[in-house]
Chain A
Amino acid sequence: MDFNLSSEQKAMQKLCIEFAENEIAPKAQEMDRTGEFPYEIIKKMAKLGLMGLPIPKKYGGVGTDYLTYVIALEEISKADASVGITMSAHISLPCSTLYDFGTEEQKQKWLVPLAQGKILGAFGLTEPSAGSDAGATQTTAELIDEKWVINGSKCFITNSGTDISGLVIVTAVTGKREDGRSEISNFIIPRETEGYSQGPKYAKMGWRAADTRELIFSDCKIPKENLLGDLGSGFRQFLQVLDAARISMAALSVGVAQACLDASLKYAKERIQFGRPISKFQAISFKLADMATEIELARLMYYKAAWLKDNGKPYTKEATMAKLFASEISVKCANEAVQIHGGYGFMDDFDVSRYYRDVKVNTIGEGTSEIQRIVIARQLGC
């Protein structure tokens, strides 16, 4: 077993550490306060190749393995979760779906500009009445006069309404299967399509700078060739894509958890009460010890899941465990981070108060903790 990262992976990590510290972290508080989408940062990241890391060069990306991508994502998320989710919701969802299932033509037309970061991509699965039960999609697609006509709505869709959002991949019902359940297919919907509109940006507890919106489709007509992959394969496609996306959600969670630990350790060494640094109180130092332990374990788990994926082995169970554990410890670490900061941790001027709000969605987005446990239990044969 070899726990060393390659020189190339270390170089990518170093790039992301430096970029995150210099270009993202100084702006994080302000972005959180205003909720403004970080156009400048995303533009710089695109130029460096960070918006298409695991996508092969011939499709506009950099061509790293998945592990390198998620390590990079951890570092970006450590500086700011909104930027992290923007990167991850772009790469792990629409880019990956196009790469895994798109035709050569679709890849050239859509994946290239996405991976180059010229446009931002979104993935629309969730609907008002189809959340955890994603198969309950009610949005429909009908082939009329050689065009797909989409009707319905989506909610909570990340990256959908920025000035650079170029497309959304949506799931829609295209018929009934023999077992009576809906047949679901995936479609590429360009941003400017008539009949496709986005609601205003939601006001959110965290991830405030990230762009999350409701989508409405009313007689939205797209060319026949915008069907992604085979007709009726939509359910299988998003299950596969979400498996890998869980690894990135785990990496994002570890990034913020690490930020919680770093801030808390520094603060605990500086804050004097009863004549000594609070880090000298066992009650505080044990919190820090637990945080460090859990973060290390979460990181190992997402590394392993990524390694399995890179080596062509099954990884559904491990990716799900990584997402479940990492997201839950991120919530715990943020809670302890605020506790260690005392009253200061409750103040907007302290980063930990942002972390506290940012991490909660980690146990909800891309599958709730409850759903992760269902998936793991199924993998165990329950």
Chain B
Amino acid sequence: MRFIVCIKQVPDTTSVKIDKRTGRLIREGIPTIINPEDKNALEAALSLKEKYEGEIIVISMGPPQADEALREALAMGADRAILLTDRAFAGADTMATAYSLGSAVKKIGEYDLILCGRQAIDGDTAQVGPQLAEFLKVPQITYVSELNIEENKVVAIQELEDKRVRWEASLPALLTITSEANKPRYPSAYGIMDAYREKEVETWEKKHLDIDEERIGLEGSPTSVKRIFSPEPKGKGEIIKEEPKESAEILFNRLRAKNII
């Protein structure tokens, strides 16, 4: 079987600070990590590989420093790593990201399962996985907390807020994996040595892909971020403790005074 795992390198948000003046992330000196749920996706692939054998390809779109994240994935046991990096990819929104990743998947060729994290802790949209599935026209199961391969299909439990749903999908398929799915293994020290000394991270640029330039990077992104700000903390709520009837009246008058009703 061939598994493709999409990983994103993200700032370690536990140590992220915001520049109070500009409202931007201070990226200098912030350690980066593999997006946590992408590690769950990789762990899922690793344990499936232990059962069914096969090959795990990790792929990431990002700046050259994303090499580190891919090496970590290799150290955890991935077989092959591909870094999509090119100035032309920079500034991509979720759609352009999914399109670029999809073009790389097409270049890879045959595969059985694509595993993404449910959501990235920085961009936080949870859109890339679903968009990628749409682009590749393969079935998708999102928010997966359990998965297995049975005959020629994948069986997965989707974890929704109020219920758990069991889905089956034919292969190839794309799943987005949640943190409940497993506990990602540590990369071993042996693995780290191999990742840095024996294995390679392949670098793919725009020119290596069959890609429509109008659909990538900042230019190819239909959405843009207008403003980044920290929401004001909500003020303390007020509790009106009169008899129900009086309380209702006070509330009604207050809302009316504010032109809410």
Q: Chain A residues in contact with chain B, CB under 8 A?
A: 7-8, 10-12, 15, 18-19, 47-50, 53, 57, 62-64, 72
Contact = CB atoms under 8 A, between A and B. Distances in A.
Contacts of A72: 189
Nearest to A68: B189
A49 B188 contact: yes
A48 B189 contact: yes
Interface in B167-197: 186-190, 192-193, 195-197
5 contacts: A11-B196, A19-B186, A47-B188, A62-B190, A64-B193
A329 to B, nearest CB: 26
A197 to B, nearest CB: 34
Contact of B196 (A8, A53, A57): A8
Contact of A15 (B68, B192, B196, B197): B192
Contacts of B71: 7, 11
A48 B186 CA distance: 8
A48 B195 CA distance: 14
Contacts of B68: 7, 10-11
Interface residues of B, number: 15
Contacts of B190: 48-49, 57, 62
Nearest to A11: B192
B93 interface: no
B105 interface: no
Nearest to B72: A11
Given A11-B72, A11-B75, A62 B193 contact: yes
Nearest to B190: A49
Nearest to A18: B186
Q: Which 9 A-B pairs have the closest CB atoms?
A: A49-B189, A8-B196, A49-B190, A48-B188, A62-B189, A11-B192, A49-B188, A48-B189, A62-B190
A50 B193 CA distance: 12
Given A7-B68, A7-B71, A15 B189 contact: yes
B22 to A, nearest CB: 26
Interface string B53-92: 0000000000000011001100100000000000000000
Given A7-B68, A7-B71, A64 B189 contact: yes
A10 B195 CA distance: 13
B186 A53 contact: no
B186 A8 contact: no
A91 to B, nearest CB: 12
A15 B186 contact: yes
A323 to B, nearest CB: 24
A50 B192 contact: no
A15 B186 CA distance: 7
B77 to A, nearest CB: 12
Contact of B187 (A15, A53, A57): A15
Contacts of A62: 189-190, 193
Most buried by A among B67, B75, B189: B189
Contacts of A8: 192-193, 196-197
Max chain A CB contacts within 10 Å: which of B193, B195, B197?
Answer: B193
Contact of A12 (B67, B189, B197): B189
A48 to B, nearest CB: 4
A12 B194 CA distance: 12
